[in-house]
Structure 1
Amino acid sequence: MSKQIQDAYIVAATRTPIGKSHKGFFRNYRPDDLLATTLRAALAQVPTLDPAAVEDVIAGCAIPEAQQGLNVARIAAVLAGLPKSVGGVTVNRFCASGLTAVQMAADRIRVGEAEVMIAAGVESMSMVPMMGNSPSLSPTIFANGDEDVGIAYGMGLTAEKVAQQWKVTREAQDAFALESHRRSIAAQQAGRFADEITPIEVTDRGLNLATGEPVVKTRTVNLDEGPRPDTTLEGLARLRTVFAARGTVTAGNSSQTSDGAGALILASEAAVKRFNLKPLARFVSFASRGVRPEIMGVGPIEAIPAALKLAGLKHEDMGWIELNEAFAAQSLAVINTLGLNTDVVNPMGGAISLGHPLGATGAIRSATVVHALQRENLKYGMVTMCVGMGQGAAGIFERV
């Protein structure tokens, strides 16, 4: 028997601050513990919800191995103290893993298979490197010419290809990067991230060299670590290219490697009423599309129109767009090709300044959109990103 499609509502949304990888404040914070902390924070936003009503925890993770392996979603659910009846599954769509988790959770509710779901994402690029601890690409990937070899050697080469094909200059990329930092700093100073961020307590351990005694210090972090108020065009222009000798892509106009987590709780209309919950947004639509791997950065050019078509909307209807800034080159290619309004794209900066903890980013940016729609009294918002190996993803939310 077919079931009537029902709405899925976001009733809680939060994220950690984003830390710099390797030297940042989460460098010693295990990702499973970080995700568990974030799950507890999301549940704390809905005290009237019975945790036993949660059907499943779906968590995105781009490199699900080592400290974030062995089904980190289920491990975090147990660590968070959720009832053992609550399941957990880890999903991987690289940079869109967290957004895919939101989509999958929403779909379970929309088809009537669940009433309450948790969608999340986590990534520690401090503990698990970009390609994993023991990457092993199929040798066949090298058989199809330069384009696949480029993918094997790094995402930066795909950004160079996009910059060339879409004629995005070094100057335009650096200006975009500077604006990302400017917007992030302004948003931090204005307290605009406060609603979406759960402060996290971190412990730093060291050694007093004079006495030989261990030193343990605890502090609370509540802001993203990446934005730099001292960023200038002159400083960005001095940076060397890192992927091609005569290229345009630098560390300054690329996303930062980062650590972080995000979580959202979704509920059906029946669950909203039963547990006296306040909906923040409705999940409207999602689309993913593939593109040639060597120009993976332009994936949103295909995914955004597809998500808009499913929703019966136009990009002009979007009051807030979180376009993940994997690279300035691909961000500008997407913006210019689709004619997006730059005033509504990343109003508080993006991954170039805030950081990009891979599989967590989709959940983190979904929390950003949900709270931005409420704070700014906007109707529709979108989260979109390019995805490694040639994909794009986009999800649309509506303020309730």
Structure 2
Amino acid sequence: MKEAYIVKAYRTAVGKAPRGVFRFKRPDDLAAETINYMMKQLPEFDKSRIDDVIVGNAMPEAEQGLNMGRLVSLMGLNTEEVPGVTVNRYCASGLETIAIASAKIQVGMADCIIAGGSESMSYIPMGGYKPVPNYKTAHEGHESYYWGMGLTAEAVAEKYKVSKEDQNAFAYQSHQKAIKAQNEGRFKDQIVPIEVEEIFVDHSNKKQTKTYTVDQDQGPRADTSEEVLNKLRPVFAEGGSVTAGNSSQMSDGAAFVMVMSEDMVKELNLEPVAKLVSYAAAGVEPRIMGIGPIKAIPKALDQAGLKLTDIELIELNEAFASQSLAVSRELEINPDILNVNGGAIALGHPLGCTGAKLSVQVFDEMKKRNLKSKHAMVTMCVGTGQGAAGIYEVF
């Protein structure tokens, strides 16, 4: 089996949805501009040698529809020769695309693939514009298949005895770590600056245009506190513990990596960033969707022949504080290596982009810590009762 290496990895900043910095930026444009930036870092590379562009997206309709993957390939590479496809495993879509790209290269079906994800929750609401659950399935007692994520977070909090106070303390720490990381410039090297053009009508009813560059995540809040978070009311269940403050933010963003065969890496004399050692998805009860990583992480570790103690850094997507705490407690994850620069509660969760975004983040952080030839993990829960985990060796 061939080796597959990641040679480039970039992401946009993450904007708040629906009224954040990317509310005037389409998700296909976000993706295309990220890929275009990546290609500028390889000015001598022949784009026609790219075998595919695989784009993860959780709500593939409207501005994210019409096989956005192919459109992103056309827009980002400015050539008709490279195909494109869209992949949906909800919150794990971006990680799934990297796994697909790596697997195809390992078995000799490709030599170079761009993989990642893009999502705009400003343009497309959670669940899309026309969610149509199967009435028969729900009537047969499976209504939890269609539960909103907030209800599953409440179910996890109840089952795993995660208090509101603990959730809020976790959320507060997420913001504190993210603010510290921003102040130290820890995200600077991984973020593609994106120019946004905003068109609006001023107070005198005249059309105006302004442009600005987005190169910093919008979500982290230096002004929050546990006291403030404890005052927030539950939003998903009466008497519940899950609030807007201890849930991930709705977000917009894009992230992509370039995966190459070992032969091409050597031919072009490139330095690998990382390689995917293992990837696993697992199913759990949909009503407690958030515990998915509890099942996926052991599968990925077993595939890689590793133990949890062999992992240097872990990016566990913070869909909700309740599920993050349940997972970390059940698996006894060392908090010192978990989401060291904050998680989705502070930094945002652009659904289909997130798996790739977290991968980019952990590569960069491992490099900054000089953890060469060491292992990192990206993992998340996934809607309708799934979990996913990918283990990387980072160079």
* Smaller-chain TM-score bracket: over 0.9
The structure 1 residue matched to 2:4, chosen from 3, 8, 11, is: 8
Alignment partner of 1:399 is 2:394? yes
Alignment partner of 1:162 is 2:156? yes
Contact between 2:265 and 2:272, CA under 8 Å: does it hold in 1?
yes
The structure 2 residue matched to 1:113, chosen from 98, 109, 115, is: 109
The residue that corresponds to 1:39 in the other structure is 35
TM-score (norm: length of structure 1): 0.96
Contact between 1:150 and 1:157, CA under 8 Å: does it hold in 2?
no
Alignment partner of 1:20 is 2:16? yes
The residue that corresponds to 2:305 in the other structure is 312
Pairwise CA distance, 1:125:
0.5
The residue that corresponds to 2:249 in the other structure is 256
What amino acid maps onto 1:336 in structure 2?
Answer: R
The residue that corresponds to 1:279 in the other structure is 272
The residue that corresponds to 1:302 in the other structure is 295
What's the secondary structure of 2:378's corresponding residue? strand
Count of equivalent residues? 393
Contact between 1:151 and 1:157, CA under 8 Å: does it hold in 2?
no
Q: C-alpha offsets along residues 278-325 of structure 1, whole Å, 9 cap, x if unaligned?
A: 111111110000001011100000000110111111111111111000
The structure 2 residue matched to 1:355, chosen from 348, 353, 357, is: 348
Contact between 1:48 and 1:277, CA under 8 Å: does it hold in 2?
no
- Comparing 260-269 with 77-86, which one deviates more in the overlay? 77-86
What's the secondary structure of 1:143's corresponding residue? helix
Contact between 2:52 and 2:84, CA under 8 Å: does it hold in 1?
yes
The structure 1 residue matched to 2:61, chosen from 43, 55, 65, is: 65
What amino acid maps onto 1:59 in structure 2?
Answer: V
Contact between 1:52 and 1:82, CA under 8 Å: does it hold in 2?
no
Pairwise CA distance, 1:277:
1.5
Partner Cα separation in structure 2 for residue 115 and residue 84 of structure 1: 18
Partner Cα separation in structure 1 for residue 137 and residue 182 of structure 2: 43
What's the secondary structure of 2:330's corresponding residue? helix
What's the secondary structure of 1:140's corresponding residue? helix
Contact between 2:47 and 2:77, CA under 8 Å: does it hold in 1?
no
CA-atom RMSD, angstroms? 1.1
Partner Cα separation in structure 2 for residue 26 and residue 249 of structure 1: 27
Alignment partner of 1:126 is 2:122? yes
What amino acid maps onto 1:197 in structure 2?
Answer: I
Contact between 2:35 and 2:77, CA under 8 Å: does it hold in 1?
no
What's the secondary structure of 1:385's corresponding residue? strand
Contact between 2:172 and 2:224, CA under 8 Å: does it hold in 1?
yes
The list of structure 1 runs, each at least 4 consecutive aligned residues, that deviate by more than 3 angstroms after superposition, is none
What amino acid maps onto 1:7 in structure 2?
Answer: E
TM-score (norm: length of structure 2): 0.98
Pairwise CA distance, 1:48:
3.5
Partner Cα separation in structure 1 for residue 103 and residue 152 of structure 2: 32
Partner Cα separation in structure 1 for residue 314 and residue 78 of structure 2: 33
What amino acid maps onto 1:178 in structure 2?
Answer: Y
Partner Cα separation in structure 1 for residue 190 and residue 69 of structure 2: 21
Unpaired segments ≥5 residues, structure 1: none
What's the secondary structure of 1:104's corresponding residue? helix
What amino acid maps onto 1:398 in structure 2?
Answer: E
Pairwise CA distance, 1:390:
0.4
Using a 3 Å threshold, how does the CA distance of structure 1 residues 22 and 98 change in structure 2: closer, same or farther? same
What amino acid maps onto 1:86 in structure 2?
Answer: V
Partner Cα separation in structure 1 for residue 72 and residue 216 of structure 2: 23
Contact between 1:48 and 1:275, CA under 8 Å: does it hold in 2?
no
Pairwise CA distance, 1:143:
2.4
Alignment partner of 1:390 is 2:385? yes
Contact between 1:12 and 1:46, CA under 8 Å: does it hold in 2?
no
Partner Cα separation in structure 2 for residue 65 and residue 187 of structure 1: 34
Contact between 1:55 and 1:115, CA under 8 Å: does it hold in 2?
yes
Counterpart mapping for 1:75-154 below 5 A: 75-145=71-141, 148-154=142-148
Pairwise CA distance, 1:151:
4.3
Partner Cα separation in structure 2 for residue 237 and residue 81 of structure 1: 48
Alignment partner of 1:204 is 2:201? no
Partner Cα separation in structure 2 for residue 326 and residue 95 of structure 1: 9
Q: C-alpha offsets along residues 181-240 of structure 1, whole Å, 9 cap, x if unaligned?
A: 000000000000012111111112222323x32221111111110000001011001100
Partner Cα separation in structure 2 for residue 140 and residue 386 of structure 1: 26
The residue that corresponds to 1:180 in the other structure is 174
Q: C-alpha offsets along residues 83-107 of structure 1, whole Å, 9 cap, x if unaligned?
A: 3121100000000000000000000
Q: C-alpha offsets along residues 240-275 of structure 1, whole Å, 9 cap, x if unaligned?
A: 001111111000000000010000001111111122
What's the secondary structure of 2:85's corresponding residue? strand
Partner Cα separation in structure 1 for residue 185 and residue 127 of structure 2: 35
Partner Cα separation in structure 2 for residue 170 and residue 46 of structure 1: 48
What amino acid maps onto 1:125 in structure 2?
Answer: M
Contact between 1:163 and 1:329, CA under 8 Å: does it hold in 2?
yes
Contact between 1:385 and 1:394, CA under 8 Å: does it hold in 2?
yes
Contact between 1:9 and 1:283, CA under 8 Å: does it hold in 2?
yes
Contact between 1:226 and 1:355, CA under 8 Å: does it hold in 2?
yes
Partner Cα separation in structure 2 for residue 248 and residue 43 of structure 1: 45
Partner Cα separation in structure 2 for residue 366 and residue 138 of structure 1: 34
Contact between 2:18 and 2:122, CA under 8 Å: does it hold in 1?
yes
Unpaired segments ≥5 residues, structure 2: none
Partner Cα separation in structure 2 for residue 68 and residue 221 of structure 1: 21
Q: C-alpha offsets along residues 58-116 of structure 1, whole Å, 9 cap, x if unaligned?
A: 11000000001011011011011343121100000000000000000000111111111
Contact between 1:386 and 1:392, CA under 8 Å: does it hold in 2?
yes
What's the secondary structure of 1:46's corresponding residue? coil
Partner Cα separation in structure 2 for residue 61 and residue 348 of structure 1: 24
The structure 1 residue matched to 2:359, chosen from 357, 366, 370, is: 366
